[in-house]
Amino acid sequence: MSKLSHYDDRGRAQMVDVSAKLETKRTATAHAFVRIRPAVLKKLPKNPKGDPLEVARIAGIAAAKRTSELIPMCHPLMLSHLDVRIEVRPRGVKIVSSATTTGPTGVEMEALTAAAVAALTVYDMTKALDKGIEIQDVYLLTKTGGKSGEFTRDGKAQKQSKTSGQSKARGQSEK
Active site residues: 124
Q: For 165, which DSSP code?
A: -
Are 132 and 123 a contacting pair, CB within 8 Å? no
Q: Which residues 6+ apart lie within 8 Å of 147 measured at CB?
A: 21
**What are the respective helix, strand and coil percentages of the chain, to the nearest 5?**
25, 25, 45
> Torsions phi, psi of 102, nearest 5?
-120, 115
Task: Tell me whether residue 29 is exposed, middle or buried, using C-beta atoms within 10 angstroms of its C-beta: 0 to 12, 13 to 18, 19 or more.
Answer: buried
Residues sharing a CB contact under 8 Å with residue 150, sequence separation 6 or more, in sequence order = 142, 143, 144, 157, 158, 159, 160, 167, 168, 169
